[in-house]
Chains A and B, each alone.
Chain A
Amino acid sequence: MTDVEMAKKNGETHLKTMITTINHPVSYDETAYHLPVSFALTGIAVHDQKAALDVFEKTGNNPLVALECILAERTAAEGRKPAPYTGFIDDTIIRKLGYSLVDGSILGLALVVGTPSGADSASAICRELQEKYMLTFLAGDVVTSLSAAGVKVGLEYRLIPLGPSPSYGIYFVDIIARVAMMFGGVTPGDVQRLLTYARERAKAIVIVYPGLTDEEIAFVDAMRVLGFPILSLGDYHGSGWISASPDMVVRRGMEEKGIRVNITAIPIPMGCSPAFEGKSIRKEEMYVEFGGGRSPAFELLQMNSADEVKDGQVTVIGPEIDRMKEGSAYPLAIIVKVAGKMMKKDYEPVLERRIHNFVNYGEGSWHVAQRDIIWVRISKEVVAKGVKIEHLGKLLSGKFRMDFPQLLDAVSVTLITDEAKVLEAKKDAEKVYEERDARIKGMRDSEVSTYYSCTLCQTFAPNHVCVITPERPALCGAISWLDGKIAYEISPSGANQPIEKGAVINTTNGEFDGVNKFVKKASHGEVERCSLYSVMEYPMTCCGCFECIALMLPEVNGIMIVNREFKGITPSGMTFSTLAGTIGGGAQTPGFAGISKNYILSDRFLQGEGGIERLVWMPSPLKEELKMRLVKKLTEQNKPDLFEKIADETWATTIEELIVYLERVKHPALTMKPLV
């Protein structure tokens, strides 16, 4: 084993001696960046020994500078190495390489140096790098090793042989320095920007075979400051070098640097697009179905460590579709395992909900509901085209990777159709569902310091800003606090932005300094204040997508709710659509608020007005929809009889009828503090 720290010290001393021996002029003709590494670091154009020593000293005896100067001198003295070696690379080619990097046709850069033990090892690694759209640079015996294995090298193969010894790897750093100056707006001499560019933008990894000299180890180790992971294939230890096996090294390096292969097409024998999302598969069109009360079925998405998830792997346990009888129901478990550096356990339920969308994207696959009440159908039409159970897995793993490229590095799917095994796996899934419920349920607005905004609707309601908290979902009901959080992490410049809630202005109404500041800015100065839990004072603005409208009825000192689906007249004298027209468009209308259905079940609901006791009327279908959960909630709050006291259209469609009803049932709102 080579101790990197020891070798490095030794190598650095040696390089220091070598740089003083430079006496030929050093320069390359085909660049406007002199000796690019030295130039980028210091802004000094090195052409002779004096300048070389000056830069070396200014950079704290940096081995990269030493090696660049030494190699430049050697090239000037001895001429370029013969083909296939490229040696120093011209500006025009760098411009094209940089283009491919920005353009995305190259995902990242890799440097492979050292002496592979056998020809096959290097060729396997290089092939994997090619397949993963990495532009690979080679220096040292690895080049001859590849040639021996019959691997073609050259720019057109994305395998670039820089030179016959590992020290030619300095051109790798040189290329990144020039790309930073050409594309990254890095001014020569601005070390900080150069380092930031190298660390954050240059997606570069270094793979090291054994056989490096001490100077070469010093050089490779010096690249760590640029944020390139150094992956060692044995023989080295210490100094933060990462040991990896040959079959894992590329994957490990890409993960370490956050380089992801984007999936652009899903290889299944049916169409897959959001265009198919709204379709349905009727009984007579269906080949088989799963769940829906006809057979046990469930879905579960969980995160695992990277080693446990093999990307793209789909396993079917139990009979495939060709062994299923047309027109019948079979058991099904959809188990998705995901891994990713940014992935968090909290995201699991949100991602799991996407199974619904993705299965529906399939031209002939259909999905409703969630968890252990799912119902899935596959159409005869696509089964005839060759679609199998396996393809649902391919579709899911592909779509998850496509839609969450930042979040997920690997997705594997297991589909079980064997009844006994489905039932067994379902027990574990149910435990997970319970744990999740407990976690989400426990989440309180007061426990987090960050809320999320949603300004998606500014397209048509220019000044509308939704503030989403754990206990108050977006008024459309479609985006929860967790969704907002994930959306922000996935797309940091998107419509969901974090809001630091800041100092409390009014606890009861839920008014916060930070929220007000954010809303003012995001509403282009139109809305100064926003209370999260009040309908009466500075309520949140309304776009037009609200699931329900909550509004004050002064005659009964209470608040009524009407949902979008309810077409009838309400005690306010207006229908939903009339009300919606009055309050939408991004305006703030005291006495009115757009809300989601789930918010009605929140402990923060109507907090500013004294709580859910204010609720006097809602349409019976909505009441029915919420019944179980609402009764449970009210019982917990020790007001089990309140549910029956809330009127609906079967009791009152006018304010007069409502007054009569509320007085008869002795509704608490009548005796509460006056609303106005």
Chain B
Amino acid sequence: MGYDLHFGWTGTIGKVILGATPGEGGTRKTSYSIGGGTTLPFLELNPLLRAPLVALEICDDPEYWSPIIRNYCGDLVDDVDAWAKTAETVYGADLVRLYLTSTRQRNFSDIASVGKTIEAVLSATGLPLILEGSNEPRIDSEVFQRCGETAQGERLLLGTAEAGRYRSIAAAALAYNHSLIAQSPIDVNLAKQLNILLREIGVQREHIVIDPYTGALGYGFEYSYSAMERIRFSALKGDTDLSMPMICSAIDSLTIKEVREAEPSLQDEMAVQWEFYTGISGAAAGAEIICVRHPKTVMMLKNAFASLMKGAGFPEVN
């Protein structure tokens, strides 16, 4: 007896393209089309659908980055180009997510440096880039304009738009043909509302990736899981305002109590495990992109996803 793996759903998750190869007008070695799902993760029978992508998060000013990463990567974290290159060649990431933490210094005004950093990272790695701009409304407009312009043609994923603060990112996405991350605080209705706001300003569906906001496993992830599940159910039931791919980044995984207070010899492993299991859970909830900061987590997740993909679909039950 067979099972209907679509449970009567008719909706499809929209596709978003990240990165552009030279043939597509960019300079990336590869580009990804994410989304396209028609049922829950790892139940898909369509062999063309890819496993969730794994992004390594890096930054251009590591002052407040987790010491665990500095301990593991060493001086690499002081050289953002080399870090980006290593993410691709050594750590095996699918994507690089660059946080422009330099813009988060007090009274930051060196907008030109933003452009230089982006150019350097784009030439250091051939992976498609997720770019996290400023965190300060005062400079948003200039920073995102620069991000969009510098990487024109590369089909970036720009982050992060929120309900009160989305215009600059939307403008950069619209002006220079990038996609953007739309983040809402663990709430299906707010996620939908932000998508509608973005649509009203002119951002097309195929340029939006939903960030439902994720806490670490045991630290609020359960709420995120539930919100993600409901976003995905609504999408599969045909709600086109929610049928975008999702991105999941539980950045607090490295700062939670269990990791902070772990025995020094075990701390690194504890951090990786926590990121790994949070990442697995995020993928199970439906995320198409999982972001991590510890390089060791990257391949662990990729292997796990590959193995889950092999078992896709239900076995025939008699």
Contacts and interface: CB of A to CB of B under 8 A. Distances in A.
Contacts, number: 60
A494 B149 CA distance: 33
B204 A185 contact: yes
Contacts of B202: 102, 183-185, 201
Q: Is the interface of B mostly helix, strand, loop or mixed?
A: helix
Interface in B249-283: none
A230 B196 CA distance: 32
Contact of B141 (A95, A105, A182, A494): A105
A114 interface: no
A543 to B, nearest CB: 13
Contacts of B174: 98-99, 102, 182-183
10 contacts: A98-B171, A99-B174, A101-B171, A102-B174, A103-B168, A105-B141, A185-B204, A459-B187, A459-B189, A462-B230
Nearest to A103: B171
Contacts of B234: 524
Nearest to B189: A458
Contact of A103 (B149, B167, B176, B196): B167
B175 A95 contact: yes
Interface in B224-240: 230, 234, 237
A614 to B, nearest CB: 35
B55 to A, nearest CB: 26
A674 interface: no
A675 interface: no
Given A99-B171, A102-B170, A458-B189, A493 B197 contact: yes
A99 B145 contact: yes
A96 B167 contact: no
Contacts of B168: 103
B7 to A, nearest CB: 13
Closest CB pairs A-B (n = 6) = A102-B171, A103-B171, A493-B196, A99-B171, A99-B175, A104-B167
Contacts of A462: 188, 230
B200 to A, nearest CB: 7
Interface string A449-467: 0000001001100100000
Which of A99, A105, A182, A494 counts the most B-chain CB atoms under 10 A from its CB?
Answer: A99
Nearest to A201: B202
Interface of B: 141, 144-145, 148-149, 167-168, 170-172, 174-176, 187-190, 193, 196-197, 200-202, 204, 230, 234, 237
Contacts of B230: 462
A183 B189 contact: no
A490 interface: no
Contacts of A89: none
A91 to B, nearest CB: 11
B176 to A, nearest CB: 7
Contacts of A183: 174-175, 202
A459 B187 CA distance: 6
Nearest to A105: B141
A458 B227 CA distance: 11
Contacts of A104: 167
A341 to B, nearest CB: 19
A493 B189 contact: no
Q: Is the interface of A mostly helix, strand, loop or mixed?
A: helix
A459 B175 CA distance: 34
A517 B202 CA distance: 30
A79 B193 CA distance: 50
Given A184-B202, A185-B202, A99 B148 contact: yes
A494 B171 contact: no
A458 B237 CA distance: 18
Given A105-B141, A183-B175, A495-B189, 18 more contacts: A95-B175, A98-B171, A99-B171, A99-B172, A102-B175, A103-B167, A103-B170, A104-B167, A182-B174, A183-B202, A185-B204, A201-B202, A458-B189, A462-B188, A462-B230, A493-B193, A493-B200, A524-B234
A105 B170 CA distance: 13
A183 B175 CA distance: 6
A103 B141 contact: yes
A458 to B, nearest CB: 5
A218 B193 CA distance: 43
A653 B166 CA distance: 55
A21 to B, nearest CB: 38
Interface in A392-433: none
B201 A455 contact: no
A183 B202 CA distance: 7
A396 B149 CA distance: 41
Contacts of A201: 202
Contacts of B197: 493
A183 B167 CA distance: 13
Nearest to B196: A493
A494 B197 CA distance: 10
Interface in A87-143: 95-96, 98-105
Interface string A548-565: 000000000000000000
B174 to A, nearest CB: 5
Contacts of B171: 98-103
A101 B175 CA distance: 11
Contacts of A524: 234, 237
B149 to A, nearest CB: 8
Interface string A152-190: 000000000000000000000000000000111100000
Contacts of A105: 141
Nearest to A494: B193
A103 B145 CA distance: 9
Interface string A179-205: 000111100000000000000010000
A182 B174 CA distance: 8
Nearest to B145: A99
A455 B190 CA distance: 11
Nearest to B187: A459
Nearest to A459: B187
Interface string A208-250: 0000000000000000000000000000000000000000000
Interface in A466-505: 493-495
Contacts of B170: 102-103
Nearest to A455: B189
B176 A95 contact: yes
A96 B188 CA distance: 34
A199 to B, nearest CB: 15
B298 to A, nearest CB: 34
Nearest to B234: A524
A412 B171 CA distance: 34
Contacts of A494: 193
Contacts of B149: 95-96
A524 B188 CA distance: 12
